[in-house]
Amino acid sequence: MKVLTVVGARPQFVKAATVSRAFRSCQPQVDEVIVHTGQHFDANMSAVFFEEMQIPQPQYQLELGGLGHGAMTGRMMESVEAILQKERPDWVLVYGDTNSTMAGALAAVKLHIPVAHVEAGLRSFNRAMPEEINRVVADHVSSLLFAPTEVAVRNLANEGIAGGKVVRSGDVMYDAALFYSQRASGTALQQIGLEPRKYFLATIHRAENVDDPARLEVIVQALARCAATLPVLLPIHPRTRKKLAETGLLKGLDTGKLRLVDPVGYLDMVQLEQHAAVVLTDSGGVQKEAYFFGVPCVTIRDETEWVELVECGANRLAPPTSVQAVVDAALAAAAQRQPAPPGLYGDGRSAQSIAHALACAA
C-alpha cells in the first residue's frame, strides 16, 4: 500500500515523525511518499527537524512558503495534484490545520483519492482563524478521521460525521513527547543561561496576534512585565520577527531578562518546555506539550481548540486585550503548579493505531 503524506509546518513534522516510524514497522507493509510543501521554509523550522527526528527525507520539496493564503494554497494544490497523478497513492495523509493540510486534502479528493486526517475534529468555533477553515474543510472531505479526544469525536458527530470513518486514535503528539523527551538531553538551558523552573518560555506566531498591531503590542508589554519576575525566553518565529520590525516593536525588545532567540530544534524545544516555570503561547501544539511535561500553560488567545486543558486547569486563556490580564494569568500559573490529570490524549500508541487502520483500509 502506498500513502502520500503532505506536510509543511513545524508541528506537522513532529506528528509525521511518529506515524512514519510506525509505517516502517507496519504489517502489511506501507510505502510512504513524503511531500514537503515548504510552508515553513526557514532551516531552523524545517530541515533540522528531519535531521534530528530521523524523519525520512521528503521525496518532493515544493518550496512554496512566504505567500499569501490564497496564492500559497492554490499553488500547493496545483503542485500536489501533479504529484498525485504521478504517484497514484492509495491514501493521502494530512495533519492538523495548516494551508498544507487543506491543499493536500482538496487536491486528493478532487482526484477521487481517499484522504485521512490526523488531528480531526478540533474546533475553536472561530471562523476568523485561517486554521479553523483549514481543519473544517479537511474533515469534511476526509474518508478516515483520526480524532485525538472524545471532544473531537463529539464535534464531528455534531457536524454529521460519525460511524466507522471516525477513529478515536489518541494524540500522536503524546507519542512524540514520550519518545523524544528521553532523547532531549542537550545543553540548551546552559547555553542560554537559564535555570530549571526559573523562566517563562513564550511562543507567538498566530496571525490573529501578530497581524494585529494592538494585540501584538499588548503581548510585548505583557512579556516585558513578566520578565520583571522571571526571565522570559522567546524563540521567535520568522514571521513574528518581521511583524515586530514592521511595527517598531522589535527595537529594544531583546534586553535584560526578555531574551529573543532564533527558532530552536525540536529536541532543544522539548528541553526548554520541560524545565520552564510557565509556558506562554498561542500555539496549539505547545499547549499540549506543556501538559505532557506537567508545566502550567497560559494560552494568549481568545479561545482554544484544546478545551479539555482549560477545563482541567492545566491551561489558562488570556486574550491579549489587556496587559494586566496576561501578566496576572502568567503569575497565577507560576504560583499554582499542580499536576494535571493524566490520560487525556491516549496511551502513547496513537501512531501505531493510525498506521494499522490505514494498512487495513487499503
The model's pLDDT over 224-251, given as tens digits with 9 standing for 90+, comes to 999 999 999 999 988 899 999 999 998 8
Identical fold between 2-171+346-361 and 188-335: yes
The pLDDT confidence band at residue 288, using thresholds 50, 70 and 90, is: very high
C-alpha cell at 103: 491543499
Q: What amino acid occupies position 117?
A: H
- Section 23-40 average pLDDT: 89
DSSP letter string over 269-305? HHHHHHH-SEEEES-HHHHHHHHHTT--EEE-SS--S
CATH of span 188-335: 3.40.50.2000
Confirm or reject CATH 3.40.50.2000 for domain 2-171+346-361, answering yes or no: yes
Q: Please answer whether residues 300 and 204 qualify as being in contact, where contact means their C-beta atoms are separated by less than 8 angstroms.
A: yes
Burial class (CB in 10 A: 0-12, 13-18, 19+), 140: middle
Statement: residue 40 has pLDDT above 80: no
The pLDDT confidence band at residue 49, using thresholds 50, 70 and 90, is: low
pTM for the full predicted model: 0.89
Statement: residue 41 has pLDDT above 90: no
- Other CB atoms within a 10 A radius of the CB of residue 281 amount to 24
How much is the mean pLDDT over the chain? 92
Cα pseudo-dihedral 6, 13, 177, 219, rounded to 10: -110
Quote the pLDDT of residue 349.
Answer: 96
Question: Between 350-361 and 172-181, two packed helices, what is the crossing angle to 10 degrees?
Answer: 130
Quote the pLDDT of residue 343.
Answer: 87
- 279 CB-near residues (< 8 Å, 6+ apart): 200, 201, 202, 203, 273, 286, 287, 289, 290, 295, 296, 297, 298
Statement: residue 191 has pLDDT above 80: yes
Quote the pLDDT of residue 362.
Answer: 64
Quote the pLDDT of residue 50.
Answer: 72
Which of 192, 189, 336, 333 shows the shortest CA–CA distance to 275? 189
- Measured distance CA(73)–CA(69) in Å, rounded: 6
Strand order in the sheet with 258-261: 258-261, 232-235, 200-203, 278-281, 297-299, 315-317
- Measured distance CA(344)–CA(291) in Å, rounded: 10
Residue boundaries of the structural domains of the chain: 2-171+346-361, 188-335
The pLDDT confidence band at residue 9, using thresholds 50, 70 and 90, is: confident
3-state SS assignment for residue 41: coil
Statement: residue 339 has pLDDT above 80: no
- 8 CB-near residues (< 8 Å, 6+ apart): 36, 37, 38, 39, 40, 62, 64, 65, 76, 98, 99, 100
- Measured distance CA(336)–CA(298) in Å, rounded: 12
* Residues known to be catalytic: 205
Quote the pLDDT of residue 144.
Answer: 98
- Section 141-162 average pLDDT: 97
Per residue in 86-143, pLDDT (tens digit) is: 999 999 999 999 999 999 999 999 999 999 999 999 999 999 889 999 999 999 999 9
Radius of gyration of the chain (CA): 20
